[in-house]
Amino acid sequence: MTQLHYREEDGKPLSQVIRDRLKQNNKRFWAGDNISEYVSDVEKDTLINEATTAFEQVLDTLLIDRETDPNSKGTARRLAKMYYNEIMAGRYDPAPGTTAFPNDSADRYEGMLVVRSELRSMCSHHHQPVAGVAYIGIIASSKLIGLSKYTRIAQWCARRGTLQEELCNDIAREIQKATGAENLGVYIQATHGCCENRGIMAHSSLTQTTVLKGSFKDDAGTKKEFFDNIKMQQEFAPR
Ligand SMILES: [Zn+2]
């Protein structure tokens, strides 16, 4: 991996220096990929400045008067900060730290654990908001992580440009990594701005995706228990 310090004398925009760095390392940088190992915090500030200039150009091209319209004056910078620090933060931030607690004593927890996580994401195709909930179910292995960590991991995966199908896979993979659980399921129910605000203008459309691993996939009883748990959660807190 190459060094992470941008030198002015390179004479290239920092975003190009980092793209070259990613390509040299054969690191994919699609909208849903995490590239935190290749972008330092200091560089992120420079990238926000660079993106501000680029968004100014977009607003100018859209013929929006940035000089006299008070609402559009700081918009380019707001957009740049929002992309890096909020709606795409999961691309630039490293994975949330998770402390694992042992679950290997005689009275270890052997049941199913189902966590409901609020999600906010953005579709890669139109950069429109995706809003919904993920239900993450696992049968614990010999370790456990704190309950809030399931949601932190899910939100870290979601804060990128995603497709719901891929997001479901990403969350399952990262939860598997953090918990060591072989048996797990992820179910996401979400609304998509790209179907609501444009295109088919479907205000009540809802998309559901499911990823099942191990016994959640192969054992009908486990699978039923997972979906029964989701139903109970929905009765308790309907979306
Ligand atoms: Zn879309």
Task: Dump pLDDT digits (tens) for 73-113.
Answer: 999 999 999 999 999 999 999 999 988 888 888 888 989 99
∠ Cα 161 165 167 (to 5°)? 50
Q: What 3-state class would DSSP assign to 139? A: strand
Does residue 4 register a pLDDT over 60?
no
Ligand 1 centroid, distance to 207 Cα (angstroms): 12
Identify the pLDDT of residue 153.
97
* Number of other CB atoms surrounding residue 94 within 10 Å: 9
Highest mean pLDDT, choosing among 23-37, 102-116, 132-146: 23-37
Ligand 1 centroid, distance to 225 Cα (angstroms): 33
Q: With CA atoms as reference, report the closest residue to 159 among 76, 83, 211, 96.
A: 83
Ligand 1 centroid, distance to 128 Cα (angstroms): 6
**In terms of residues, how long is the chain?**
239
User: Distance between CA atoms of 215 and 219, rounded to whole angstroms?
Assistant: 5
Ligand 1 centroid, distance to 126 Cα (angstroms): 4
pTM for the predicted model, two decimal places:
0.91
Ligand 1 centroid, distance to 167 Cα (angstroms): 14
Q: What's the sign of the alpha-carbon dihedral 48, 54, 57, 58?
A: negative
Ligand 1 centroid, distance to 171 Cα (angstroms): 20
Ligand 1 centroid, distance to 182 Cα (angstroms): 32
> What residues does 213 pair with on adjacent strands?
184
Ligand 1 centroid, distance to 66 Cα (angstroms): 27
Identify the pLDDT of residue 8.
54
Question: What would you report as the CA-atom Rg of the chain, rounded to the nearest whole angstrom?
Answer: 21
Neighbours of ion ligand 1 (CB under 5 A): 123, 125-126, 194
Ligand 1 centroid, distance to 157 Cα (angstroms): 17
Max intra-chain CA distance, the chain: 70
* Span between the terminal Cα atoms of the chain, in Å: 44
Residue pair 92/44 in contact (Cβ under 8 Å)? The answer is: yes
Where does the pLDDT of residue 6 fall: very low under 50, low under 70, confident under 90, or very high at 90 and above? low
Backbone angles phi, psi at 102, to 5 degrees: -65, 140
Identify the pLDDT of residue 200.
81
